[in-house]
Structure 1
Amino acid sequence: MPSTAHIRCGDDLRDLLPQAGWAGDYLPIADPVCVGAVSDGDLMAYLGQRARVVALHAGVDAQEARLRLGREYMALNSLGKYDRVLLWFEHDLWDQAVLIRVLSLLAGRAPLEGRLFLMPADGRRAFAHLPAEELAGLEPVALGALQLEAGAEAWAAFADPDPTALDRLSRRALPLPHLAPALRRHLQDLPWRNDGLALTERLLLRAVAEGAAGLPAALAALQKADPVFQVTDLIVKEVAQRLSAGPQRLIGRDAPWQLTERGRLVLAGEARHRPPPRFQGGVMVGPDPAWWWDRRAAGVHGTL
């Protein structure tokens, strides 16, 4: 039997894959790449940057986060010992962001030629939700230089402080089946030109306006509304905290969640949101952003 490594953006398939007959070593990459700042270039600097992001996002110790990320990314250096490497990434933005991070690190590694395979996602369901017999019957799709180069190009654009290259890339026919829609969804979380809200922020405000009074209900509403970005509870919590901070808050601080008067005006298009500082991939967002999502042009534009 060929030796196999399974790369996945988390631990959700660790027990399911052996049950479905997929033997091999399980190598998770638990870096939530679609959350917070990222950068291209030196991996050690990247790990330090991401450890700080993960510590704030998940409420864990920064050193603990750095050690885990280091172990997971360094495991990619051992892939040459396997006969095949299976990449388990779905259509969702979370998965696709980790996929291009991984492909950017594997591009050009000669020992992996002919050994890399992408597991086919159907664009609707998570692998963890598939019946065991369907999971067992999936046919790996070989990845070649074209797909690896596309992943590396996408990562460089994802990490760039200027999002126009990523915008152009997301309009092309790409050799990775679910990448372009995920990249466009990522760009839609830049502030929108018409009201200053990111798409995830708008979906959360709408859910609260429609009665989602806390995290569980808001999470369910956002997951139902947005199949391309299946947000997590931590993402919803972080966005809610962002929108409930400061004197111009859009969501009240106290439970149950309710829109403030300003939140109602912004959601109705009668006032403009000035976003607090944050990063969207490599792009800095702030009260007066340099980059916007223009819904009419369905693309990125510079300062108003």
Structure 2
Amino acid sequence: MSQRSMPFSNDGKINIEQQRKRAKELLQRMKDGAVPDQDSRIPGSGTLSSPTLSQAQWLIAKQLGFSSWPKLKAHVDAIDFAARHPGFEASDEIRTTHWRCGNDIAHSLRVAGFKGSFQMLADPLCMGPVQNLSLEEYKAVRSSYISRTFAIDKTEAQRRLDEEYSSLMRLGSTDHSVLWCEADAYDQLFLIRVLATLESVPARLELIEVDRIPGVRRFIGIGQLAPDVLAWLWPQRRLIDEEAVEVARQAWLAYCDTSPVKLANMAHSPQRSLPFLAPALLRQLQELPGVQDGLSLTERLSLQFVGEVGSVAFGRVFAELMGTREPLPYLGDLMFHAVMRPLIDSNTPLLIESDTHLDWPKRMLKLTQLGHQVLSGMAYWPDHAPQEWWVGGVCIRPNQPHWMIDQNAIPVWRG
């Protein structure tokens, strides 16, 4: 069966009538002699000589990630029921503060019927210097980085951070707060940052945390989900306990350290209380220079795609990375653009950018000779990079000793 006949949902909403129609169309193709990909494991019959509608429905359910048609139907019914009977009143949601690492679900929460307040901490902790400083020093460093990297007025960047962190400092005294997170580095760093600020665990601090949604082929984040699916997620929240807060404190200090060794130890040690943390930290470690080429994983995957295509639009590189190649998608488009700029804005660039009169997503990218050499391991990027870069508290300065990461995500010192 071709990929074109497998329309996965992007927002988590599955139209059961559409799936019934697809099952009937598939049944007709089977009767005409088409052999489905999973025919060898169709339950209830050892042959497809007389295919049935239930067999076709089973195949459709399997394509969407369910073990049976009834399981698919039950999931659709559960989302529909949650949308009609969200139970917000019973859970006192109106006095709840919803916390998120951006504003991507603020509108959808309202559409779904949530009435509590919304608060975000949009500090992009997966980028730039993140150090264990006093709050005022920390905000000064971060606002300066955010202003410089995203071309935001420094006063405005400072104001935003002041507001967000002032609200965060009051989290411990709130009646009921819910953190909405996915499994990627952006969200998991937000999670440990929030929890690490707590002196003690509030009575009702809860977490909604997901790494996949049934029926969504490529889950990027909660922001892509339909409002009804947010209502379905609401009953799945769980209480944050002292163990989770302690793990977050340790992870935050490890991330802020000038050495990645402690961070690597946590990244290779799954945590029961925060199950998505270790994989996210492991992915973040891969933003350190690789031992062979000096590239972060984001840079390497992007350059590989440009090298394969030859000449390609900037925006298409981002789409390919997020849609296919990135193992744990975490970057927004502007963040990706900022990550790639040093590879272009250098006296010895790895990429040539043309059509600069256009908006950046439409500009064309092509590898330079040095870009090809770095990709093949014949040159090492930090020997040519125009500026320092950070992974948490670890700073990589061009032509100076620094930390790298090997193929097993183990830190290695390059003297």
TM over 0.5: yes
> Of 314, 339, 359, which residue of structure 2 is paired with 1:239?
339
- Name the structure 2 match of 1:219: 318
Task: State the 1:214 CA deviation.
Answer: 2.8
Q: Is 1:191 matched with 2:286?
A: no
Asked if structure 1 preserves the Cα contact closer than 8 Å seen for 2:220 and 2:329, the reply is: no
> Of 98, 105, 117, which residue of structure 2 is paired with 1:6?
98
Q: Is 1:300 matched with 2:414?
A: no
> Of 258, 261, 281, which residue of structure 1 is paired with 2:366?
258
Asked if structure 2 preserves the Cα contact closer than 8 Å seen for 1:57 and 1:234, the reply is: no
Asked if structure 2 preserves the Cα contact closer than 8 Å seen for 1:5 and 1:79, the reply is: no
Task: State the 1:18 CA deviation.
Answer: 2.1
* Separation (CA, whole Å) in 1 of partners of 2:226 and 2:274: 25
SS at match of 1:89: strand
* Separation (CA, whole Å) in 2 of partners of 1:173 and 1:246: 39
Q: Which amino acid aligns with 1:219?
A: F
> Of 375, 383, 386, which residue of structure 2 is paired with 1:267?
375
Task: State the 1:284 CA deviation.
Answer: 0.7
SS at match of 2:170: helix
Task: State the 1:77 CA deviation.
Answer: 3.1
* Separation (CA, whole Å) in 1 of partners of 2:350 and 2:147: 25
* Separation (CA, whole Å) in 2 of partners of 1:298 and 1:39: 22
Task: State the 1:94 CA deviation.
Answer: 1.0
Q: Which amino acid aligns with 2:365?
A: W
SS at match of 2:395: strand
After the TM superposition, which residues 269-284 of structure 1 pair with which residues of structure 2 at under 5 Å, given as runs?
A: 269-274=377-382, 275=385, 276-284=387-395
| CA displacement, residues 23-51 of structure 1 (integer Å, 9 cap, x when unaligned) | 21101111111110011131111111110
Task: State the 1:125 CA deviation.
Answer: 4.5
TM, length-normalised to structure 1: 0.93
RMSD of the alignment, in Å?
1.7
Q: Is 1:152 matched with 2:152?
A: no
SS at match of 2:133: coil
> Of 238, 246, 251, which residue of structure 2 is paired with 1:141?
238
Q: Which amino acid aligns with 1:137?
A: W
| CA displacement, residues 134-157 of structure 1 (integer Å, 9 cap, x when unaligned) | 211222111000001111111111
> Of 174, 187, 201, which residue of structure 2 is paired with 1:95?
187
The number of residue pairs the alignment matches comes to: 300
> Of 41, 44, 47, which residue of structure 1 is paired with 2:136?
44
Inter-CA distance 125–270: structure 2 relative to 1 (3 Å threshold): closer
* Separation (CA, whole Å) in 1 of partners of 2:197 and 2:172: 13
Q: Which has the higher contact order (CA 8 A, sep 6+)?
A: 1
Bigger shift: 281-290 or 176-185? 281-290
Task: State the 1:81 CA deviation.
Answer: 5.3
* Separation (CA, whole Å) in 2 of partners of 1:14 and 1:63: 25
Task: State the 1:227 CA deviation.
Answer: 3.9
- Name the structure 2 match of 1:64: 156
Task: State the 1:180 CA deviation.
Answer: 0.7
* Separation (CA, whole Å) in 2 of partners of 1:232 and 1:80: 29
Percent of aligned positions with the same letter in both sequences? 34
Asked if structure 2 preserves the Cα contact closer than 8 Å seen for 1:223 and 1:229, the reply is: yes
TM, length-normalised to structure 2: 0.69
Bigger shift: 5-14 or 228-237? 228-237
> Of 209, 216, 239, which residue of structure 1 is paired with 2:307?
209
Task: State the 1:303 CA deviation.
Answer: 2.0
> Of 43, 53, 61, which residue of structure 1 is paired with 2:145?
53
- Name the structure 2 match of 1:178: 276
* Separation (CA, whole Å) in 2 of partners of 1:201 and 1:289: 20
- Name the structure 2 match of 1:109: 200
SS at match of 1:240: helix
SS at match of 2:312: coil
| CA displacement, residues 98-124 of structure 1 (integer Å, 9 cap, x when unaligned) | 111111112x235x1x31111031343
* Separation (CA, whole Å) in 2 of partners of 1:253 and 1:31: 28
SS at match of 1:258: strand
* Separation (CA, whole Å) in 2 of partners of 1:61 and 1:43: 20
| CA displacement, residues 131-185 of structure 1 (integer Å, 9 cap, x when unaligned) | 3332112221110000011111111111111110000011112121211111011
* Separation (CA, whole Å) in 1 of partners of 2:287 and 2:334: 16
List alignment gaps of at least 5 residues for structure 2.
Answer: 1-88, 213-218, 356-363
Bigger shift: 71-80 or 85-94? 71-80
**Structure exhibiting the larger radius of gyration computed from Cα positions:** 2
Following TM superposition, the consecutive aligned residue runs of length 4 or more in structure 1 with deviations greater than 6 angstroms are: none
* Separation (CA, whole Å) in 2 of partners of 1:172 and 1:252: 40
Inter-CA distance 194–137: structure 2 relative to 1 (3 Å threshold): same
- Name the structure 1 match of 2:76: none
SS at match of 1:15: helix
Bigger shift: 279-288 or 8-17? 279-288
Q: Which amino acid aligns with 2:237?
A: P
Task: State the 1:95 CA deviation.
Answer: 1.0
Asked if structure 1 preserves the Cα contact closer than 8 Å seen for 2:121 and 2:190, the reply is: yes
Q: Is 1:132 matched with 2:240?
A: no
